[in-house]
Amino acid sequence: MRRPFAGRRFLLPVERGAAYIGVLMTTSSLPGFRDFYPADLALRSHIFRTWRKVADRYGFVEYDGPPLESLELYTRKSGEEIVGQLYDFVDQGGREVALRPEMTPTFARMVAARAGGLPKPIKWFSVPQLFRYERPQKGRLREHFQLNLDIVGETSVASDVEVLAASIDVLREFGLGPEDFVARYSDRALISAVLLRLGVPEPAMPAAFAALDKADRESEAWVLDRLTEAGLESGTARRVLDVTAMELGDLSRDFGDVPEVEARLVRVAELSAQIDAAGLADYVALDLRLVRGLAYYTGLVFELWDRKGKFRAICGGGRYDDLLEAVGGPALPALGFGMGDVVLGELLRDRDLVPETEHTLDDFVIHVSPEQLPAALRIVHSLRSLGRRVGFDYRSRGVGRQFKVANQAGAGRVIVVGPEEVERGEYVVRSMDTGAETKVSVAELLAGGADG
């Protein structure tokens, strides 16, 4: 049967991501996946550089792990939502595997494998690319990069504050201030103790947290439905919503007789005092409705949001004291955060905090005709081996054209190599800023070193 379009040429609208390239095929990436053209990569590199700079300032060291892990690593502890978004498949060896949707399980696995030999506290960071099959929308894609910064082996409030402070300092380093963003925090163990007292059974806790996690995006009726689906009486579900809207003082009044609640309230007060001492009070707000969707958190939980609420969460993290043991390691406490590049990039663009991309050459070596190409190449490569950024014209075009290219490339100076220059061993060097010209020998040219 003849295929109706076989052999036909197509020219499809490029803005729809399709074009004719020999055979009919699409030029767009998969939905939710990004191409990083140079200008996009410049922003990504700026984000990565800033992440690394702040992590380094806090004394964290960089690590990485594999992008593909065994499926079980996530099904055991990450929580239903993320497991439902996995890119998983059976590999050719019959193993059930998944692309990493988050870094924490890999981090826990790696630390668990060597925990005995590592001095504590372990302070590591990473910048992995992660994959989640989400509905692509503003702030949510199917791949993203995340700064992960975690501490293992510490239960102190000071370590909670250290991690929170690092996340805030990262945003400050980008030029964002307390008017731009806020770190909302809570204590999952406190909420857990209150919920237990209200009669929420332990097994229903993960589903109750997953429902509360959506409280700021969904209607109250929706959250109440999820809570009753999780097995709560409708009266209890209502009480759960009400207590998470309470102030700390009210919680203390109503639940202060529960030792665990009292202990957690003391810890939250200490955290708040240390946040003040670190000079970060303007950047934080206690919010007991914040519980976080991931299943493994056990204490402090926090998220960074833009003040106007225009974007999705920029960053999320908390304490997960049981995870290392759950992945087969020793019982070591841990905490950290993940900050994605997608929402952060949107926020930086919105606040005009994206630095100008500059690709500038130091020198452009012009050769007047093809005969001078070998002489020009000697100069080009000698300058490059000094560490200078040097360009030249591959096609020996006219001198005027080469000047234009030098200008477009943002070259600081142009070196002209013509027949007389080669014969005399002296070259005209023109500053592209001032237009001033000097004649110099190759030795003088190279003696200038990397600074020119």
Interface ranges with ligand HAM (CB under 6 A) = 102-104, 132, 134, 140-141, 144, 146, 148, 150, 294, 313-318, 336-338, 340, 342-343
Alpha-carbon gap, residue 99 to 90, rounded angstroms: 11
CA max distance for the chain: 96
Min separation Cβ 209 and ligand HAM, Å: 13
Question: Judging by beta carbons within 10 Å of its beta carbon (0-12, 13-18, 19+), is residue 259 exposed, middle or buried?
Answer: exposed
Min separation Cβ 129 and ligand HAM, Å: 11
Kindly give, in sequence order, each residue whose CB lies less than 8 Å from that of residue 71, ignoring residues fewer than 6 positions away.
86, 88, 96, 97, 98
DSSP element (H, E) containing 318: strand 315-319
Alpha-carbon gap, residue 328 to 76, rounded angstroms: 11
Min separation Cβ 243 and ligand HAM, Å: 23
Min separation Cβ 131 and ligand HAM, Å: 9
Q: Are 74 and 83 in contact (CB under 8 A)?
A: yes
Per DSSP, 355 falls in state P
Considering the complex, state which of residue 103 and residue 414 has its C-beta at the smaller distance from ligand HAM. 103
Min separation Cβ 178 and ligand HAM, Å: 19
Q: φ, ψ for residue 224 (rounded to 5)?
A: -60, -40
Q: φ, ψ for residue 451 (rounded to 5)?
A: -85, -10
DSSP element (H, E) containing 154: none
Min separation Cβ 268 and ligand HAM, Å: 19
In terms of phi and psi (left: phi > 0; alpha: psi -120 to 50; beta: otherwise), the region of 35 is beta
Min separation Cβ 28 and ligand HAM, Å: 18
Residue showing the smallest CB distance to ligand HAM in the complex: 340
Alpha-carbon gap, residue 84 to 185, rounded angstroms: 26
Considering the complex, state which of residue 208 and residue 342 has its C-beta at the smaller distance from ligand HAM. 342
